[in-house]
Structure 1
Amino acid sequence: MNAPERAVAIVGIDCRFPGAGDREAFWRLLTTGEVTARPVPPARWRTGHDQPAGAETPVSLIDDADAFDHRFFGVSPVEAAGMDPQQRLLLETAWRAVEDSGVSPASLAGGHASVHVGVMSSEWANLHLADHRAMTTHRGSGNGYCMAANRLSYHLDLKGPSMAVDTACSSSLVAVQLACTGLRAGEVDTALVGGVNLILTPALSIFYRQAGLAAADGRCKPFAADADGIGRGEGVAVVVLRRLADALADGQRVYAVIEGGAVGSDGRSNGLTAPNRFAQAEVVRTAYRQAGVEAGDLHFVEGHGTGTRLGDMIEVRALGDVHAGRSRPALLGSVKGNLGHLEGAAGIAGLVKTALALERRTLPGTPGGAENAELRLADHGFRLAGAAARLPRGRVLAGVSSFGLGGTNAHLVLSSPPDRPATRR
C-alpha cells in the first residue's frame, strides 16, 4: 500500500511504570484498573510531623529505580554512580524499544537517527550538585537535561539531532511532535523518543499542596466526581518512530500511526500557571487539521486529565468547543487515573496507552469513580471511559493531549495500525 507521506508509525515500545516493569505488565495494569499510589517509602525521603505539609502525600513509584547493568553499556561503576538515574533508565529502555522494533540496536550505529527526550526535572542533580567540594567529572557529565538525550546518541552512535525537551508536563508529547516533524521532513529515517521522571524529593509534592493542587491520597481521579487534585507518579518510556511507508516496506510491526499533531501556547491567561481554554481548543483544532480529520471521526481522546477541578473543567470545555454536537459521543479518559501525573513523562505514558489500545482494539477504563456531573460531558460530545470498551473494526482514530504547567499544549492524532499481517525482520 502507499502510505501517506505524513503518516508516522510507532514500531517499537518499551516502558517502566509504577506497578509495571515492561509493556505487557503495563497493559495488564491498565486492563485490571490498578491504581498505583502508595505511601512514600523511607528510602525516598523522610516523612513526619517535622516535615512540610505535602511531604507525606502518597506517590506512584517504579521498582528498582537504582538498578543498572553498567557492564552491558560499557560504563564504569564510578561513572554509573555519578549519573542521574534518569539517564540510566533511558539507556535500558531505549535499547529494549529498539529491539522491540525488530532491529538490533547495533544496526543503527553511524546512522542518522534522532533522539528527543522529554524531561522536566532532575532531582538527582538537585541532591548531588549542591556540594561543590564533592564535584567530579562524572557527576558533571552525568547530569543536565541535555545529557538525557545526548547519552543515548553517544552509546548507540546515532548521528541525527539529539535534544532534551522541557515544556513541563507536556515535555514528552512535544518531543514526539518534534520527532515526527523531522521524519516528515526527511531529516531522519528513525527517531527515538522518550520521557522520564523520577521522584527523589518531596519538593513538588509540597508545591502542589501549597498551590491547592494536591490530592491528599496521592491519586488522580480524572473527570470524576471525587476529583480533588494531582497525585505524583514516575516512570520512563521510549518509542521508536519511522515513516509508515518505510516501516511497511521493511515488514515492521506497527502499533499505531501518528497522523498529525500540533503544539501551541496559552499565551496570556488568568495567570502563568492557569490553563487557557481557547488556546487548548485551538491546538486540538490545528492537530485535526494537520491530520486531515474531523472531530466526529475520533472514537476516543486520551485527555490530560490531572484530576484538578479547574483543570478538568477547562479541558472538557476546550474539547467541547471542538467536539460538541457530534453524532455519537467520544470516550474520554486518562492514564493518570492509574499511574498518577508522571510530569515530564506524562505525555508519552498517554501515547503508549493509546497505541496499545488501538493495536489491541480495547480502550481500558479510567479508574477514579463516577463521572463529575458538573463537567456535563455529554453536552461537550463525550462520555467517561469508566470501564473497558471494545473498539470497532476498521480504522479507529484517537487523540492524545498533554498540557504543560507553563502553558505549552500538545495534541496528537493516532490511528489504528494498517490491516495487514505484521512480520518481523
Structure 2
Amino acid sequence: MGDIAITGIDCLFPRAHGADAYWELLLGSGDAIGAVPPGRWDPAVHPEVARGGFADGIDVFDHAFFAVPPREAAAMDPHQRLLLPCVWRAIEDSGISPVALAGSDTGVYVGVMGGEWGRLTLSGRDRPTPQLGAGSSTGMIAHRVSYHLDLHGPSLAVDTACSSSLVAVHLAVGALLTGECSTAVAAGVNLVLSPTLGLVYQQLGLAAPDGRCKPFAADADGIGRADGVGAVVLRRLEDAVADGSRVYAVIRGSAVNQDGRSNGVTAPSRWSQQKVLQAAHRRAGISPDQVRFVEAHGTGTVLGDAIECAALGAVHGVRRAEPCAIGSVKGNLGHTEGAAGIAGLIKAALALHHRIVPASRHAERENPRLRLAERGLRLLRSPLRLPRGETVAGVSSFGMGGT
C-alpha cells in the first residue's frame, strides 16, 4: 500500500476550537464534559441525558463568506454550516489556498451518523421548503463542501455509525492511491441536537449516568455523547514532499471489515476486531511489535472495553521491549460518534507531530479485569515522549452494527 500524508488539520471539539486548542486540551488531560447548553433541550425534562461534551458556537456561520443566502443558511443542517469553515481552515493549514483548488479533482469524504436535523425540522411540517429539504440531507453535508469550494472529485457522506469518519479516511486513501483524486479531504461531524439517541443508549444500558466516557477504567459505566467536527487534508506522500508541504503524519495502511452474524447486531466481535487490525498491519507492512501506541475506540462500556482490549492484546501483546500504550480521546471529550474516528486520527497525528503522546484520562483507575499488563498493553498515566526517528501508531474505530 502506498503512503499517504496528512498535510492539513482543523477541528472543533468541546472546549477546543482549532487544532492548537485541541492539543492543549489533550496534553493537559482536560475534561470537556458539562451541562446541556441553552437551546438544545430542556434538561429538566430528560435529566438522565443532561450532561455531555458540547461545543460552543454551533449556531454561528458566516453565510456571506460562503455566498449562502440568509434564508438558505438558516435552513441548513448545522453539520453543514460547521463543516464548511472547518474544511476551509484545514486546506489553508495544508499550505494551499482553498480558492486554488477550484475546478480540481479534490475529493470530499465525510463521516456522519444519523439525521437529527431532518427529524427536528421536517417532522410535522405541512409545507416543507426546498431549503429545508436540501439542508437536511445527509449526503449534502459532503456536497456542500464540494459545491462551495468548486471541487470536482468524489463527494460522499459515509454512515457506518461510530466508525463513519475513519471509514471515510479509508475510502479517501483508496481514492488517492488509485488516482481518482490528487487531493482529498476526509472529515467527520457530529452534533448532539436532541436527547433522542442518548435516551436510546440509556435504554440499552450503554449511557454513563454522569455523561462521561471512562475508557478502560475500573469505574467505566457507559457512553457520554459529544459534539465534534474534524477534517484532514490528504495527499500522496511523494506529491506532498515534492511540493514542500508540512507532513503531520503518514498513513501507511488501513482496513475495514464487518462483524457479520456475531452475538448480536449491536454487540462487538473480538475476532473481527483482531482480523481488521491484522489486515491493516499487513497492508502497511508493519509488524505489531513496531506499534508504539494505539488510539483505541475506547467507549468506556463494560463489554466494549473488554472485547477491544482482548483483540488489541491478541495482536499487539507480542514479545517487545515495552508494552504498547493505549488510550482514547473519549475520556476527554465524550463519544463524538460519527466524528469519533477523525478525533482519534487527529490526536494520533498531533502526537506524532509533537513527538509526545498525551496521558490517558482515567488511567489512574485502570480496570484490573482487562488484564492490560498481561496482554502487553498499558495506559499512560503521564505523557510519553517519543524518540527521534520513525514512530508507528495505530487508530481504531468501531461502529454499532459491526463495521
Q: What range is the shorter-chain TM-score in?
A: over 0.9
Aligned to 1:44: 40
Q: Distance in 1 between matches of 2:46 and 2:8?
A: 42
Once the two structures are superposed, the pairs formed by residues 51-200 of structure 1 within 5 Å of their partners are: 51-52=45-46, 54-56=48-50, 58-200=51-193
Structure 1 residue 396 corresponds to structure 2 residue 385: no
Q: Distance in 2 between matches of 1:386 and 1:403?
A: 25
SS in structure 1 opposite 2:397? strand
Once the two structures are superposed, the pairs formed by residues 210-229 of structure 1 within 5 Å of their partners are: 210-229=203-222
CA contact (8 A) 2:14 2:55 kept: yes
1:52 to partner: Cα distance? 4.9
Structure 1 residue 9 corresponds to structure 2 residue 2: no
SS in structure 1 opposite 2:256? strand
Structure 1 residue 322 corresponds to structure 2 residue 315: yes
CA contact (8 A) 1:53 1:209 kept: no
SS in structure 2 opposite 1:265? coil
Q: Distance in 1 between matches of 2:173 and 2:266?
A: 28
SS in structure 2 opposite 1:180? helix
Structure 1 residue 347 corresponds to structure 2 residue 341: yes
Amino acid across the alignment from 1:308: T
1:371 to partner: Cα distance? 1.2
Q: Distance in 1 between matches of 2:127 and 2:357?
A: 49
Aligned to 2:368: 373
Q: Distance in 2 between matches of 1:241 and 1:335?
A: 22
- Report the aligned-residue RMSD: 1.0
> Where in structure 2 are there 5+ consecutive unaligned residues?
none
Q: Distance in 2 between matches of 1:82 and 1:389?
A: 45
SS in structure 2 opposite 1:246? helix
CA contact (8 A) 2:109 2:185 kept: yes
Amino acid across the alignment from 1:346: A
CA contact (8 A) 1:299 1:330 kept: yes
Number of aligned residue pairs: give it.
Answer: 401
Partner residue of 2:356 out of 352, 359, 362: 362
- Output one character per residue of 1:93-121: Cα deviation in whole Å (capped at 9) or x when no partner: 00000000101001101010100000002
Amino acid across the alignment from 2:25: L
1:131 to partner: Cα distance? 2.9
> Where in structure 1 are there 5+ consecutive unaligned residues?
409-425
SS in structure 2 opposite 1:195? strand
- Output one character per residue of 1:55-88: Cα deviation in whole Å (capped at 9) or x when no partner: 33x1101001000000000001000001001001
* Identical positions, percent: 57
1:54 to partner: Cα distance? 2.7
CA contact (8 A) 2:49 2:211 kept: no
1:323 to partner: Cα distance? 1.5
Once the two structures are superposed, the pairs formed by residues 232-243 of structure 1 within 5 Å of their partners are: 232-243=225-236
Q: Distance in 2 between matches of 1:325 and 1:105?
A: 45
SS in structure 2 opposite 1:238? strand
Amino acid across the alignment from 1:210: Q
CA contact (8 A) 2:185 2:233 kept: yes
- Output one character per residue of 1:188-215: Cα deviation in whole Å (capped at 9) or x when no partner: 1000111000111001111111111111
Q: Which runs of 4+ in 1 moved over 6 A?
A: none
1:132 to partner: Cα distance? 2.9
Q: Distance in 1 between matches of 2:139 and 2:303?
A: 33
Partner residue of 2:242 out of 232, 246, 249: 249
Q: Distance in 2 between matches of 1:82 and 1:127?
A: 11
Q: Distance in 1 between matches of 2:325 and 2:293?
A: 4
Q: Distance in 2 between matches of 1:86 and 1:396?
A: 34
SS in structure 1 opposite 2:246? coil
TM-score computed with the length of structure 1 as normaliser = 0.93
CA contact (8 A) 1:370 1:386 kept: no
Q: Distance in 1 between matches of 2:170 and 2:348?
A: 15
